[in-house]
Amino acid sequence: MESLRQALRGCAEQRIEEIAAGLIQYALLVLSQGRTSEAEALLDRVAAILPNHAGLRHFQGLIRQMEGDLPGAEALIRRSLSIDPEQPEVWSNLGAVFMGQQDMDQASDCFRRALRRKPDHLKARNNLGVCLLGRSKWAEAIEVLEPVVAQAPTLTGAAVNLAMALVGAGRHDEAVAICANLIERDGDNLDALLCLADAQARVGDRDEAISTLRRALAHWPVRQVANNLANLLLAEGRNAEAVGLYRAILEGDPDDAQVLSNLGGALTALGLVEEAEAAYRRSLSLRPDPATHSGLLFTLQNREGRTSRDQLAESLDWGRAWGHEAARCIYLNARDPERRLRVGYLSPDFRHHAMRCLVPPLLDAHDRGQVEVICYHDHPGYDEVTATIRALSEGWRDVFGLSDVALVEQIQADGIDILVECAGHSGGNRLRALARKPAPIQVSWLVGYGGTTGLDAIDYVLADDILIPYGFDAEFSERVLRLPVAAPFRPDPALPEVTPLPDGPPLLACLGNPARIGRSLVEAWQRMLDRLPDSRLLLMHGAYGESGQEEAWRRHFAPLGERLILSGVPGGWGANMHAYGQIALALDTFPAAGATSTLIPLWMGIPTASLAGECAVGRFGGSILRGAGLHELVAHSLDEHVEQVVSLASDRKRLAGLRRELRPRLAQGPLCDALGFAREIERHFRAIWRQWCETTKGESGI
């Protein structure tokens, strides 16, 4: 009798399974017709009969995922796996749910579980590759994705993902080849075109990248393409074109926070500081974002009327908003106060940038018995300046594209004792990563940005007593380490010899970024020209050479009238050095001062007059001129500035003497004393390291 009962139970269970399978199949049909509620009701009926049916729970979870109920989908798919954990497809789908919830760690774990059960599960492998891309783990992503592309060469998404991983790994030529093949095979595939443009831009072929994006925009007139094209135009200094594209996007969606932020950067480059500030603040009101907030801070340096206190308050707001959400690191650094220090330098500007003549002399002069130098290059480009800095480093890390977590892990793995960040709130900064404090001591060096970070994870700031005068320490969130000069200067050996003072009326010139030129300075220039009736003023910068923009710039500088000479820098400064031979006297920018736009004219024998600003960024000119022995050319009011310029421009004998003397004076002075600068910075490093060792005595460490 017992065997009969078991047989009947087995038959009944089999019949129930068959009915359930039929209902599930019918539910699939109903779902395919868009009748989601009816399909869910059918499945609920089956679940009441078979609560432990793994396939049913999986199916219910997928429907919840389709409806956007990701927590509900997660619960049901987990229920399926608790019944039968050996389902690779179900593990893969659970991973997709976690991806939708932006939990890439759990998603990756699910995809790996799927692949352990079925190594050729292409969907799980491709999605794992996407997770690895998000973590900037390029090599792992390539290893995971290559088999997918080999097995399914027509799977376009996987091929694009592989190309993106290759771009991240610096294997740009391979990425270009993959994208080109996809475009040849599939036509104008949007993802392939975007990836191709990215790869082209990273190898420095920006003209080709712009052409690729224009092609993409012709076939895919969508926001992403237009925004990418505008970003690339902005990077190329084609600011007005970028502004036009950003504004076109905003006509369709005036609340696009990212495009508003990008527009702020482009307007800043055009010298439209008030409009840029409005764009940044509008963006932040729609979507708070650390990069946008940094962009606002960078732009506000160029706004007249800002005080150091204003800038500090805004910077502290940034620190409160973005600097306190991450857990701080634990340090295993050996607490030996006298050992050789591992010093890291982090910057997006180890390339042809204003820092090219400021950072290398320090790295070259470091005492390698005291300091081991590791450089973190956070930019996709690589040029001769990058190569020079790399050669001066004992350790080199290409960290562009690394997530904050990955960058922190790299710095910790390198055992950095003192990390020097060189970007502040300028573009491409990594302050969010530094908020986790990957190094026990973190220092900001005022070479890429002229103000406080506002971040309590940055312990010190390097400056001289002109940038941060004694008594002004409270205007920085960091403790001040003062140096003889703000930075050492090493001129490019290719710079030509100084030429004699040209005959005729003195030509005045400002070679600085127009974003730094305020209205009050333009009015002062007008007063200078009124008192120097035979002189003219040359404004020379790449921004002035943009096609179709001369009329707009002339309106911007309307008070200067016909005595204004506007010039771009076609072919770069190397092709335009003859301009220095025509200039008698250079004028610094205000309210933000220049650095290399003052240093290079001085090296070419051209004295520069500077008006000291309220904030540190406005005192770079004063710092440099003090180092050149020309402190008398630093004015502290507009009236004084006008008088100094008119007096010097009218004194041909003094101009000629300075033209002969300036280069040897600089070469023998503190600005070019890289060894002295290095010894002083090393003295500071040793002192703050000893202090850290003393204050952390007894804590965990080696």
Q: How far is Cα 140 from Cα 587, in angstroms, rounded to an integer?
A: 52
Residue partners of 102: CB distance under 8 A and separation at least 6: none
Confidence band of 41 (pLDDT split at 50, 70, 90): low
Strand partners, 372: 342
Q: How far is Cα 77 from Cα 57, in angstroms, rounded to an integer?
A: 6
SS3 347: strand
Q: How far is Cα 566 from Cα 435, in angstroms, rounded to an integer?
A: 43
SS3 432: helix
Q: Which two tokens stand for residue 637?
A: 């009011």
Q: How far is Cα 252 from Cα 255, in angstroms, rounded to an integer?
A: 9
Q: Which two tokens stand for residue 622?
A: 């004063």
CA trace torsion 266, 450, 381, 242 (10° rounding): 0
pLDDT, position 8: 39
Query: What Rg, from alpha-carbon coordinates, does the chain have?
Result: 31
Same fold? 341-482, 507-672: yes
pLDDT, position 700: 54
Distances (CA, A) of 130 to 52, 127, 366: 33, 5, 42
Third-level CATH fold of 507-672: Rossmann fold (3.40.50)
CA trace torsion 447, 451, 453, 459 (10° rounding): 70
Q: What is the mean pLDDT of residues 601-612?
A: 97
Q: How far is Cα 668 from Cα 682, in angstroms, rounded to an integer?
A: 21
> pLDDT tens across 192-201, in order?
999 999 888 8
pLDDT, position 10: 45
Q: How far is Cα 258 from Cα 243, in angstroms, rounded to an integer?
A: 13
pLDDT at 43 over 80: no
pLDDT, position 11: 44
Query: Scanning the structure block, which residue is given the tokens 């941060």?
Result: 468
- What ranges do the domains of the chain cover? 1-44, 341-482, 507-672
581 C-beta neighbours (distance < 10 Å), count: 16
> pLDDT tens across 122-179, in order?
999 999 999 999 888 889 999 999 999 999 988 889 999 999 999 888 888 899 999 9
Phi, psi of 59 (to 5 degrees): -60, -45
pLDDT at 702 over 50: no
Q: How far is Cα 594 from Cα 588, in angstroms, rounded to an integer?
A: 6
Mean pLDDT of the chain: 90
Q: Find the distance separating the first CA and the last CA of the chain, reported in whole Å.
A: 75
pLDDT at 44 over 70: no
Q: How far is Cα 203 from Cα 349, in angstroms, rounded to an integer?
A: 16
Q: Which two tokens stand for residue 156?
A: 């376009």
Confidence band of 4 (pLDDT split at 50, 70, 90): very low
Helices (H), 203-329: 206-219, 223-235, 239-252, 257-269, 273-286, 290-300, 308-322
Q: Looking at this protein, which amino acid is placed at residue 407?
A: L
pLDDT at 47 over 60: no
Packing angle of the helix pair 223-235, 257-269 (nearest 10 deg): 20
Q: How far is Cα 449 from Cα 77, in angstroms, rounded to an integer?
A: 50
Distances (CA, A) of 401 to 48, 63, 142, 174, 377: 50, 35, 15, 18, 11
Distances (CA, A) of 691 to 250, 333, 362, 414, 685: 52, 14, 23, 21, 10
pLDDT, position 35: 64
> pLDDT tens across 325-340, in order?
666 788 999 999 999 9
85 C-beta neighbours (distance < 10 Å), count: 12
pLDDT, position 411: 97
Closest C-alpha to 314, from 276, 364, 277 = 277
How many Å separate Cα 518 from the centre of its chain?
Answer: 26
Confidence band of 7 (pLDDT split at 50, 70, 90): very low
- Tallying the residues shown for the chain, one arrives at 702
> pLDDT tens across 466-477, in order?
999 999 999 999
Q: Which two tokens stand for residue 677?
A: 């600068």
Q: Which two tokens stand for residue 511?
A: 């070679």
Packing angle of the helix pair 257-269, 273-286 (nearest 10 deg): 160
pLDDT, position 53: 72
CATH code linked to domain 341-482: 3.40.50.11380
Helices (H), 308-383: 308-322, 359-365
Closest C-alpha to 631, from 614, 643, 619 = 619
Cβ-in-10-Å burial (0-12, 13-18, 19+) of 182 comes to buried
- The DSSP symbol for 303 reads S
Q: What is the mean pLDDT of residues 19-46?
A: 63
Q: What is the mean pLDDT of residues 537-563?
A: 91
CA trace torsion 543, 298, 398, 200 (10° rounding): -30
pLDDT, position 135: 82
Query: pTM for this structure?
Result: 0.86
Query: Scanning the structure block, which residue is given the tokens 């005192």?
Result: 619
pLDDT, position 148: 92
Share of the chain above pLDDT 90, in %: 69
> pLDDT tens across 56-108, in order?
677 777 777 777 888 888 887 888 888 888 889 989 989 899 999 889 899 99
248 φψ region: left (φ > 0), alpha (ψ -120 to 50), beta (else):
alpha
Phi, psi of 540 (to 5 degrees): -130, 120
Strand partners, 542: none
Query: Scanning the structure block, which residue is given the tokens 């970028």?
Result: 242
DSSP string of 660-695, one letter each residue: HHHHHHHHHSGGG-HHHHHHHHHHHHHHHHHHHHHH
How many Å separate Cα 545 from the centre of its chain?
Answer: 25
> pLDDT tens across 208-233, in order?
999 999 999 998 889 999 999 999 99
Q: Is the Cβ–Cβ distance between 121 and 150 less than 8 Å?
A: no
pLDDT, position 137: 86
pLDDT, position 391: 96
